[in-house]
């Protein structure tokens, strides 16, 4: 930041705020929840370094707890071989060096990983020894005397105090705020005095539709609104801060001026300011992150201006007021950091005592005296001699002896499996050397090694499966139907079951917007929503219209509006209406109670009945898409709206979208533009529908991308997906990630409609992709929660295709039922070993059950992605853990197609996988905790209870069964082509080169597989392709409820 | 059939007892370590839901009987304790009011149990939650069905404890436990009122039975007023009327189903129920009725204003709840008890639904609510006051908690600096004289004793231990000689015989 020193504060602030976007949670309002890399701001760093940096910043765990890894080790999910290979992969130095007596460093480290670094406590060990007798252990006998390190001479406390105080003061800025320092000194958290009300003001300013009454001054921005309230707030008097009123009256109107005025009072050193503001923002990461997100996406708000400077000004102001109050009580005068530093530097004894209270375990009697001494109060004057006496007493306490050494040594030696002879030869110096070697790995490195081993174990299984399946590859001779689904890991199961039931069906996978980025306005939607990956900005809008008489449609619309208006009146009126409230309550009570009873006893039946009633009330409607534009509208590339203080978009996204843009532009004329992440609306008007040329281009690009360029089956089904569940604030997180967290059915429907149009087919034929007359495209949507299928536009299906469609409908329904049975094995409340019918009934009930915190498990099982022909994986049981993306390497010699796929699917897959990873390894900090206490706030997020930080990330219920590992992407292409692609795409360099995903290449024609290691380049895989074989998937998963290894499924091969 | 129905009212004690039984069973399973892992969950949930369902079924059967033959009325099933004029009985009052509210509570309780089975799956506090919810169901049924104030008070307290435990469900969060404590302490104010009312009833009426309180039209005005005022305070506290309202807004830390049944649907109405139960008594005291109207109206205004600015769904709903509960108090104050009863039942049913579906607010609503009226919208002061919830919570802290805390600190300092020093503490004594380390004393009594001991020892030294030739030694030697002579004489047979004879004389 030093280069900005000379700039005025306003411009420097803009840079600092820009930087904040990298460290604060970047979660959109919860309605637009889209998976993204939780640590997107660190993506320019290698994975391990990024995790370490994030841990330094937030204290969040980087890897699963070691205890969990050791549990997996005990289960055989990680083996010694995996750990061994992981040591190499992590690049640990001198692995084969001899430590003592021919024991290599590798052996010591392997053993040390398996020993818990901190065993049970001293008290527990002593208790075990008393209860069960001391362990009969040679090591204990030999080393318990010799290695008990005597307590060293207590150091001079005055020197210690001086060092410690300057060290603590140095932390202020990057690691601490003055509040944290004062909390350390006094145990009083000043933020607690204002946090609740600050949160209320923040929520009120950001609110998207809960509050009926807003701050009258909110149009002037957050600072002005807050100040208008704070000036007349009696809380200051009640908090014994009466001076605050005067301060607030004389403050400047511009938040930046406020910062310029108050920051120097707090911290005189300007160099500390950026770090200080960042730390201040990180004290309430959820609220800060949401505020920043809204500041950067003004189009998502309700018109109230949101600027980060407002927020920071309020935070700094509160910090200043409260810190000055506390220092006044502590020292008698209001002090900033510099003064405080000098004050305690002159009083080392007092500091030493206060510091000891926070950092050391004191004997109880002494602790009580220290606590009383340290109590902050105006009437608490203790003279220097008292402090000095206490400090000397504490300074003379002996250091506690290290009692963990011998147990650790014993456990280590046991795992090293030394012979008794070797043990006898072991001297205390040898033991020290062994322990030093075992302790040489930092906790983060240990975590990394465990993760690498964990990933390797799964990777070996996947590679074996691919190798074993290589000889079985066989194309479908005469497909009866081709089904194109989303690449989603959940659809792996659907596809497998469909193929098992109907071996002559071919399935394809692709990002679930099917190459049709568009705005969509359904017949019942009041606003349009973007259906495409978040990095893409659609330029077209497709509307759904009623295919009935104008009058009939209008009548239906009115009936529906009336029904919705009544619902709205009921829900809102019973909570805010003074007169209407009781009346509506009285009217609605009996039906509500009946609905609760029915929904509790038979959720599935009741949910479906309600849907039917709803349809009856609204009236049935047949709809059409307004798909075709008469002429291309003149489209000028839009300049993205720039929010105040944020001139650049975050790096990875913009580069990814830029390359995606260039990739798609080859077939199309520049109507894909960048969209700020998560944005659902934009300022200009999109074109209505697509022209014939644009439609043909989209269809052609997509079909070539998935490799469906010939041998068309009579029916090609485009199957989008979405998830329907009740009572679930995180609903969007279960929907299609490639459609900005919405349903992908409309895209499928639009694609099928385009591909059926004669005008489009004529153009396709002209460009060498003829689709025969005997082929018809149909569309449907798969509900991943209840495994239902909703078919579109069947009334337009030509008669010759009807029987084929009916057959496909039956097959798909049966596959979904079989899939439901497979899903049930991971759901604790589902019946054990259910029949497909029973399983489907269960998931239907689950989807409608308001008491379900886990309507489905989402992407919880994701672990890998295959980019290649389906033959590569067809006939493998992959446990719904793999994103399957269709791609035909035989028609893509230069890798142009796979480049586009990687650019589009890479960030989507990595986003999903990494969000799950982080929410799993530290659900408290990266995730949002348990759903059961969640409380929807302002329609943009959830809090725990009614007074907490805004919680971002995934709830614990979504990730509890997730296996936290990075996404393994296997591409059916040669390493050379992939190397070239990664080299020319900065976005992929970042993702792959920095190890955020793991890349492997499977040779298109042979069974060889190469793994890409960012450090060591391509490594050929040398395992054996041996796998268990089963008749059907159901034989493999029946009765199991944990993650399953891949298996070869015999049925379903063409 | 009808004979059976007539028997059922005597079994009404089962309604609170069944959830208690479920509680004990689940508690035993947890204590014995049988409740671990996924497999243990269904049994816990089913036991509790089954107990709740049986309560509901029993109540429905009693309702049926009441519909056919009229309400059973006051039933005394046994004596709890009796001492002089004091009689504690196990009695139930099964009138239409009690039966309708209790049946509704049982139904909502059963639904909440069923809801929680899925909702709390794999929560660390799964079994704890069901135990506490069963405790609550038992308690609230006692409140609704009890025939006397004492039994109702037991239920009242059970509800309070259950509420405390569930607000602190996420005990790892300091805020949750602090709020649990806040709610608990605030409710103690109401409990004190309840106890006061019971005390007056026992003293003046000689009975805790509800009919004794309510069917007594000739009570002197002062007696009636004093009797009722305690119960009114209890009702205000439990139903979160002013000035007790802040506790309920801080009680939303628990899982959604507990928020629903406690603060949305059932427990918040317990105060209203108590007022309805005592309506005939209240009717004799017009000024208390006026107080009900005034407090209810104020609370309604307060809750309405605060509810308008709330930005999170649970808080918005809780203010809406308090608003309507306040209207019930107004209705009771105006004497419209039937209206209040109906309102109570309908409101409980609707809020149960609304709270349980609070997580789906995003899907249930289409647009922002209707904005506040124009005259209100521009008032910065009222807005600030509503956001600060009229500073009630802070006032409570400043006026009650802070002074109490300071007082406690002062007492502590007093004890430490004065009382402890005066009285002394065991183990802290210091020797008065370095050459006599055995004699230690702390505090006034300790030091005094030590001084006495020291003096005595000095005396002993002086007399006996001053070495050979001291007065003590000479005296002792002489005394020893005399004693030896007496002993020698006593060994003679004649003296022995004399002693035996003397013994006989004494005996005879």
Tens digit of each residue's pLDDT (9 = 90 or more) over A616-631: 888 888 888 888 887 6
Interface contact B375, partner A, CB < 8 A: no
**pLDDT cut 70: percent of chain A above it:** 91
The answer on pLDDT for A662 being more than 80 is: no
Give the pLDDT band (50/70/90) at residue A136: low
Task: Name the residue in chain B with its Cα closest to that of A205.
Answer: B311
User: Hey, what are A1026's tokens?
Assistant: 């041996």
Candidates B118, B261, B308, partner chain A, best to mutate (most A CBs within 10 A): B118
Q: Which residues of A touch B122 (CB under 8 A)?
A: 828, 957, 960
Q: How many CB pairs under 8 A join A and B?
A: 265
- Stretch B204-225: mean pLDDT, rounded? 87
**pLDDT cut 90: percent of chain A above it:** 53
Cα separation, A484 vs A511, whole angstroms? 10
Q: Which pLDDT score is estimated for A154?
A: 56
Interface contact B357, partner A, CB < 8 A: yes
Query: E strands of A78-132, at which residues?
Result: 98-100, 103-104
Tens digit of each residue's pLDDT (9 = 90 or more) over A302-346: 888 999 999 999 999 999 999 999 998 888 888 889 999 998 998
User: Hey, what are A831's tokens?
Assistant: 């019946």
Q: Helices A222-231 and A243-250 sit at what angle, rounded to 10 degrees? A: 140
Q: Which residues of A touch B391 (CB under 8 A)?
A: 234-235, 238
Tens digit of each residue's pLDDT (9 = 90 or more) over B451-466: 888 888 888 777 666 6
Cβ neighbors of A893 (< 8 A, separation 6 or more) are: none
- Stretch B363-370: mean pLDDT, rounded? 85
Q: Which pLDDT score is estimated for A642?
A: 32
Distance from CA of A910 to the nearest CA of B (A): 28
Query: Shortest CA distance to B392 belongs to which of B474, B302, B304, B462?
Result: B302
Q: Which pLDDT score is estimated for A153?
A: 54
Task: Label the pairing between strands A481-486 and A715-722.
Answer: parallel
The answer on pLDDT for A965 being more than 80 is: yes
Q: Which pLDDT score is estimated for A659?
A: 37
Phi-psi region of A94 (alpha: psi -120 to 50; beta: other; left: phi over 0): left
Task: Name the residue in chain A with its Cα closest to that of B169.
Answer: A933
Tens digit of each residue's pLDDT (9 = 90 or more) over A699-720: 999 999 999 998 899 999 999 9
- Give the CA radius of gyration of chain A: 32
- Stretch A818-844: mean pLDDT, rounded? 92
Q: Which pLDDT score is estimated for A638?
A: 39
Interface contact B172, partner A, CB < 8 A: no
Interface contact B374, partner A, CB < 8 A: no
- Which has the higher per-residue pLDDT, A421 or A208? A208
- Stretch B264-274: mean pLDDT, rounded? 94
Distance from CA of A733 to the nearest CA of B (A): 14
The answer on pLDDT for A672 being more than 90 is: no
Candidates B384, B408, B417, partner chain A, best to mutate (most A CBs within 10 A): B384
- Which has the higher per-residue pLDDT, A500 or A432? A500
CB contact under 8 A, B388 and A204: no
Using CB atoms, which residue from A575, A576, A934 is nearest to B359? A934
- Stretch A722-747: mean pLDDT, rounded? 89
Using omega within 30 degrees of 0 as the cis cutoff, is the peptide bond preceding A839 cis? no
Q: Which pLDDT score is estimated for A637?
A: 40
CB contact under 8 A, A851 and B312: no
**Total count of residues recorded for chain B:** 508
Q: Which residues of A touch B319 (CB under 8 A)?
A: 575
Task: Name the residue in chain A with its Cα closest to that of B42.
Answer: A829
- Which has the higher per-residue pLDDT, A872 or A653? A872
User: Hey, what are A912's tokens?
Assistant: 């999903």
Q: Which pLDDT score is estimated for A747?
A: 95
The answer on pLDDT for A892 being more than 70 is: yes
Query: Shortest CA distance to A505 belongs to which of A754, A872, A809?
Result: A809
258-317 in B: which are within 8 Å (CB) of A? 304, 307-317
Lowest mean pLDDT among A119-133, A375-389, A921-935: A375-389
Give the pLDDT band (50/70/90) at residue A926: very high
CB contact under 8 A, B107 and A945: no
Give the pLDDT band (50/70/90) at residue A640: very low
Interface contact B362, partner A, CB < 8 A: yes
Using CB atoms, which residue from B122, B353, B377 is nearest to A596? B353
Q: Which residues of A touch B171 (CB under 8 A)?
A: none
Query: E strands of A551-676, at which residues?
Result: 623-626, 673-674
Q: Which residues of A touch B107 (CB under 8 A)?
A: 593, 597
Concatenated DSSP letters for B40-55? GHHHHHHHHHHHHHHH
Give the pLDDT band (50/70/90) at residue A1: very low
Phi, psi of B347 (to 5 degrees): -65, -40
Cα separation, B17 vs B239, whole angstroms? 25
The answer on pLDDT for A658 being more than 50 is: no
H or E segment at A521?
Answer: strand A518-521
Cα separation, A579 vs A835, whole angstroms? 53
The answer on pLDDT for B416 being more than 90 is: no
Using CB atoms, which residue from B111, B311, B324 is nearest to A597? B111
Q: Which residues of A touch B311 (CB under 8 A)?
A: 200, 203-204, 207, 210-211, 937-938
Interface contact B163, partner A, CB < 8 A: no
- Using CA atoms in the order A933, A937, A943, A946, what is the torsion angle rounded to 10 degrees? -70
Using CB atoms, which residue from A207, A571, A944 is nearest to B311? A207
Give the pLDDT band (50/70/90) at residue A663: very low
Query: Shortest CA distance to B377 belongs to which of B329, B437, B305?
Result: B305
CB contact under 8 A, B394 and A574: no
Give the pLDDT band (50/70/90) at residue A535: confident
Using CB atoms, which residue from B121, B309, B312 is nearest to A946? B312
- Stretch B24-44: mean pLDDT, rounded? 91
Cα separation, A212 vs B307, whole angstroms? 8
Using CB atoms, which residue from B310, B348, B380 is nearest to A232? B380
Give the pLDDT band (50/70/90) at residue A379: low
Distance from CA of B74 to the nearest CA of A (A): 29
Using CB atoms, which residue from A30, A201, A238 is nearest to B387? A201
- Which has the higher per-residue pLDDT, A680 or A609? A609
Cα separation, A320 vs A182, whole angstroms? 12
Candidates B112, B269, B369, partner chain A, best to mutate (most A CBs within 10 A): B369
Cα separation, B318 vs B307, whole angstroms? 8
Cα separation, A1004 vs A29, whole angstroms? 43
CB contact under 8 A, B354 and A571: yes
The answer on pLDDT for A94 being more than 50 is: yes
- Stretch A279-301: mean pLDDT, rounded? 92
The answer on pLDDT for A675 being more than 90 is: no
CB contact under 8 A, A568 and B121: no
Give the pLDDT band (50/70/90) at residue A215: very high
User: Hey, what are A1015's tokens?
Assistant: 């450090």
Interface contact B43, partner A, CB < 8 A: no
Which stretches within A825-925 are classed as H helix? 836-848, 896-921
The answer on pLDDT for A541 being more than 50 is: yes
Q: Which pLDDT score is estimated for B219?
A: 83
Give the pLDDT band (50/70/90) at residue B236: very high
Using CB atoms, which residue from A30, A213, A233 is nearest to B388? A233
Give the pLDDT band (50/70/90) at residue A639: very low
Task: Name the residue in chain B with its Cα closest to that of A232.
Answer: B381
CB contact at 8 A, B176 and B168? yes
H or E segment at B93?
Answer: strand B86-94
CB contact under 8 A, B369 and A210: yes
The answer on pLDDT for A390 being more than 80 is: yes
Tens digit of each residue's pLDDT (9 = 90 or more) over A436-460: 888 888 999 999 999 999 999 999 9
Give the pLDDT band (50/70/90) at residue A377: low
Cα separation, B261 vs B281, whole angstroms? 29
CB contact at 8 A, A731 and B362? yes
Q: Mean pLDDT over all residues of chain A?
A: 86
Cα separation, A460 vs A290, whole angstroms? 41
Tens digit of each residue's pLDDT (9 = 90 or more) over B431-446: 777 777 777 777 788 8
Give the pLDDT band (50/70/90) at residue A726: confident
CB contact under 8 A, B311 and A938: yes
Q: Which residues of B touch A931 (CB under 8 A)?
A: 359
CB contact under 8 A, B367 and A216: no
Tens digit of each residue's pLDDT (9 = 90 or more) over A146-189: 444 444 555 688 888 899 999 999 998 888 999 999 999 988 89
Cβ neighbors of B403 (< 8 A, separation 6 or more) are: none
Task: Name the residue in chain A with its Cα closest to that of B368.
Answer: A209
Burial of A136 (0-12, 13-18, 19+ CB in 10 A): exposed
Q: Which pLDDT score is estimated for B142?
A: 95
CA A791 centroid distance within chain: 32
Q: Which pLDDT score is estimated for A633?
A: 55
Candidates A196, A208, A210, partner chain B, best to mutate (most B CBs within 10 A): A210
- Which has the higher per-residue pLDDT, B432 or A636? B432
Q: Which pLDDT score is estimated for A222?
A: 94
The answer on pLDDT for A227 being more than 60 is: yes
Phi, psi of A375 (to 5 degrees): -60, 130
Query: Shortest CA distance to A113 belongs to which of A437, A419, A459?
Result: A437
């Amino acid at each position: 930041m030093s280069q900005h020193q000379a700039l005025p504060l306003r411009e420097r602030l803009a840079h600092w705020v820009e930087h904040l976007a990298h460290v604060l949670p970047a979660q959109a309002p919860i309605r637009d929840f889209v998976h993204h890399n939780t640590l997107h701001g660190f993506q320019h760093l290698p994975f391990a370094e990024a995790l370490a940096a994030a841990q330094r910043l937030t204290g969040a765990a980087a890897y699963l707890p070691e205890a969990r890894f050791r549990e997996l080790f005990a289960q055989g999910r990680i083996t010694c071989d995996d750990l061994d290979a992981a040591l190499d992969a992590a690049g640990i130095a001198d692995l084969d060096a001899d430590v003592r007596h021919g024991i290599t460093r590798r052996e010591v480290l392997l053993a040390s990983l398996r020993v818990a670094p901190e065993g049970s406590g001293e008290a527990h060990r002593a208790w075990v020894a008393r209860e069960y007798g001391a362990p009969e252990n040679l090591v204990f006998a030999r080393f318990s005397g010799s290695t008990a390190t005597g307590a060293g001479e207590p150091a001079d406390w005055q020197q210690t105090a001086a060092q410690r105080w300057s060290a603590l003061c140095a932390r202020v800025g990057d690691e601490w705020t003055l509040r944290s320092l004062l909390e350390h000194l006094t145990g009083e958290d000043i933020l607690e005095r204002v946090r609740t009300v600050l949160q209320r003001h923040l929520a009120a300013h950001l609110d998207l539709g809960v509050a009926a009454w807003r701050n009258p001054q909110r149009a002037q921005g957050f600072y002005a609104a807050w100040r208008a309230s704070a000036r007349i707030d009696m809380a200051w008097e009640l908090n014994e801060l009466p001076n605050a009123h005067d301060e607030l009256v004389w403050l400047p109107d511009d938040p930046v001026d406020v910062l310029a005025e108050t920051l120097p009072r707090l911290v005189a050193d300007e160099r500390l300011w950026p770090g200080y503001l960042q730390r201040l923002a990180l004290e309430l990461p959820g609220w800060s992150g949401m505020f920043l997100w809204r500041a950067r996406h003004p189009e998502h708000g309700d018109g109230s201006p949101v600027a980060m400077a407002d927020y920071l000004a309020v935070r700094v102001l509160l910090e200043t007021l409260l810190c000055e109050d506390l220092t006044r009580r502590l020292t008698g005068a209001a002090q900033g950091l510099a003064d405080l530093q000098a004050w305690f530097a002159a009083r080392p004894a007092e500091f030493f005592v206060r510091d000891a209270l926070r950092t050391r375990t004191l004997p109880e009697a002494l602790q009580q005296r220290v606590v009383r001494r340290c109590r902050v109060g105006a009437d608490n004057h203790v003279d220097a001699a008292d402090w000095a006496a206490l400090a000397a007493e504490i300074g003379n306490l002996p250091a506690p002896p290290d009692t963990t050494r011998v147990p650790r040594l014993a456990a280590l030696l046991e795992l090293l499996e030394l012979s008794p002879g070797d043990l006898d030869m072991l001297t205390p110096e040898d033991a020290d050397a062994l322990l030093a070697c075992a302790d040489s790995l930092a906790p983060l490195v240990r975590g990394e090694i465990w993760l690498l081993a964990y990933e390797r174990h799964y990777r070996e299984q996947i590679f074996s499966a691919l190798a074993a399946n290589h000889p079985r590859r066989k194309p479908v001779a005469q497909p009866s139907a081709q089904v194109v689904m989303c690449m989603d890991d959940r659809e792996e199961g659907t596809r497998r079951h469909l193929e098992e039931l109907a071996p002559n069906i071919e399935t394809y996978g692709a990002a679930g917007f099917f190459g049709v980025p568009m705005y969509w306005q359904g017949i019942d939607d009041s606003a349009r929503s973007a259906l495409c990956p978040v990095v893409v900005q659609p330029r077209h809008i497709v509307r759904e219209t009623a295919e009935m008489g104008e009058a009939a449609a209008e009548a239906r619309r009115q009936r529906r509006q009336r029904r919705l208006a009544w619902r709205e009146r009921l829900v809102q009126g019973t909570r805010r209406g003074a007169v209407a409230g009781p009346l509506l309550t009285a009217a609605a009570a009996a039906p509500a109670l009946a609905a609760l009873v029915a929904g509790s006893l038979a959720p599935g039946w009741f949910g479906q009945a309600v849907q039917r009633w709803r349809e009856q009330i609204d009236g049935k409607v047949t709809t059409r898409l307004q798909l075709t534009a008469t002429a291309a509208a003149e489209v000028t590339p839009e300049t993205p709206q720039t929010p105040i203080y944020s001139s650049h978009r975050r790096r990875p996204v913009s580069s990814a979208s830029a390359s995606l843009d260039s990739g798609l532009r080859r077939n199309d004329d520049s109507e894909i533009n960048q969209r700020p992440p998560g944005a659902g609306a934009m300022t200009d008007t999109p074109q209505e529908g697509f022209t014939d040329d644009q439609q043909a281009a989209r269809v052609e690009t997509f079909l070539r991308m998935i490799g469906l360029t010939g041998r068309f089956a009579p029916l090609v089904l485009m199957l989008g997906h979405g998830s329907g569940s009740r009572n679930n604030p995180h609903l969007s997180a279960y929907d299609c990630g490639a459609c900005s967290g919405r349903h992908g059915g409309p895209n499928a429907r639009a694609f099928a409609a385009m591909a059926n149009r004669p005008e489009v087919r004529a153009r396709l034929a002209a460009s060498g992709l003829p689709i025969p007359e005997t082929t018809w495209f149909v569309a449907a949507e798969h509900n991943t929660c209840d495994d239902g299928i909703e078919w579109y536009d069947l009334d337009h299906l030509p008669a010759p295709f009807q029987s084929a469609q009916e057959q496909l409908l039956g097959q798909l329904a049966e596959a979904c039922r079989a899939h439901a049975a497979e899903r049930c094995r991971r759901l604790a409340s589902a019946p054990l070993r259910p029949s497909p019918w029973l399983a489907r009934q269960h998931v239907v009930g689950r989807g409608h059950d308001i008491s379900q915190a886990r309507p489905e498990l989402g992407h919880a099982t994701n672990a890998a992605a295959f980019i290649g022909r389906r033959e590569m994986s067809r006939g493998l049981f992959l446990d719904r853990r793999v994103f399957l993306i269709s791609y035909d390497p035989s028609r893509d010699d230069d890798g142009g197609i796979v480049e586009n796929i990687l650019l589009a699917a890479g960030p989507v897959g990595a986003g999903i996988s990494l969000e799950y990873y982080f929410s799993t390894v530290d659900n408290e900090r990266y995730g949002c905790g348990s759903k059961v206490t969640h409380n929807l706030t302002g329609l943009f997020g959830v809090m725990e209870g009614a007074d907490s930080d805004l919680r971002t990330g995934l709830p614990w219920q979504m990730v509890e069964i997730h296996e936290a590992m990075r996404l393994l992407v296997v591409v059916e292409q040669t390493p050379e082509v992939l190397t070239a692609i990664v080299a020319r795409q900065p976005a992929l360099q970042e993702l792959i080169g920095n190890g955020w995903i793991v890349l492997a290449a499977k040779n298109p024609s042979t069974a060889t597989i190469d793994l890409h290691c960012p450090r060591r380049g391509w490594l050929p895989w040398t395992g054996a392709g041996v796998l268990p074989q089963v008749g059907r998937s159901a034989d493999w998963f029946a009765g199991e409820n944990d993650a399953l290894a891949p298996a070869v499924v015999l049925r379903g091969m063409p | 059939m009808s004979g059976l129905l007539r028997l059922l009212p005597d079994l009404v004690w089962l309604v609170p007892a069944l959830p208690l039984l479920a509680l004990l069973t689940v508690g035993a399973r947890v204590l014995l370590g049988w409740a671990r892992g996924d497999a243990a969950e269904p049994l816990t949930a089913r036991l509790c839901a089954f107990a709740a369902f049986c309560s509901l079924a029993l109540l429905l059967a009693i309702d049926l009987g009441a519909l056919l033959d009229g309400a059973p009325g006051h039933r005394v099933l046994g004596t709890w304790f009796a001492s002089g004029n004091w009689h504690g009985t196990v009695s139930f009052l099964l009138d239409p009011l009690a039966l309708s509210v209790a049946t509704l509570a049982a139904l909502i309780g059963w639904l909440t149990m069923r809801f929680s089975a899925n909702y709390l799956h794999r929560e660390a506090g799964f079994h704890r939650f069901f135990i506490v919810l069963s405790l609550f169901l038992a308690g609230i049924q006692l409140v609704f069905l009890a025939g006397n104030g004492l039994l109702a008070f037991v239920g009242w307290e059970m509800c309070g404890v259950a509420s405390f435990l569930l607000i602190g469900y996420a005990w790892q969060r300091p805020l949750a436990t602090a709020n649990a404590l806040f709610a608990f302490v605030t409710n103690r104010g109401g409990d004190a009122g309840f106890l006061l009312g019971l005390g007056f009833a026992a003293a003046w009426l000689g009975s805790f039975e509800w009919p004794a309180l309510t069917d007594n039209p000739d009570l002197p005005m002062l007696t009636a007023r004093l009797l009722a005022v305690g119960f009114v305070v209890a009702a205000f506290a439990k139903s979160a009327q002013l000035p007790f309202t802040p506790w309920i807004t801080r009680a939303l830390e628990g899982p959604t189903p507990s928020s629903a049944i406690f603060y949305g649907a059932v427990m918040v109405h317990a105060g209203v129920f108590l007022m309805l139960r005592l309506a005939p008594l209240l009717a004799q005291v017009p000024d208390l009725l006026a107080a009900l109207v005034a407090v209810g109206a104020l609370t309604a205004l307060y809750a309405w204003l605060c509810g308008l600015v709330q930005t999170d769904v649970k808080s918005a709903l809780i203010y809406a709840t308090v608003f309507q509960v306040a209207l019930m108090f107004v209705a009771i104050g105006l004497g419209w008890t039937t209206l209040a009863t109906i309102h109570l039942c309908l409101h409980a049913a609707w809020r149960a639904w609304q709270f349980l579906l609070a997580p789906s607010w995003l899907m249930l609503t289409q647009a922002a609510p209707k904005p506040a009226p124009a005259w209100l919208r521009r008032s910065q002061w009222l807005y600030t006051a509503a956001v600060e919830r009229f500073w009630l919570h802070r006032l409570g802290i400043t006026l009650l908690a802070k002074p109490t805390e300071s007082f406690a600190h002062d007492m502590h300092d007093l004890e430490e600096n004065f009382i402890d020093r005066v009285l002394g503490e065991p183990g802290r004594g210091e020797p008065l004289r370095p050459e006599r380390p055995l004699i230690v004393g702390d505090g006034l009594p300790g030091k005094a004793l030590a001084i006495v001991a020291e003096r005595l020892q000095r005396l002993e030294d002086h007399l006996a231990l001053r070495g050979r030739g001291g007065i003590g030694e000479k005296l002792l030697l002489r005394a020893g000689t005399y004693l030896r002579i007496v002993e020698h004489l006593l060994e003679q047979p004649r003296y022995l015989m004399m002693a035996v004879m003397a013994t006989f004389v004494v005996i005879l």
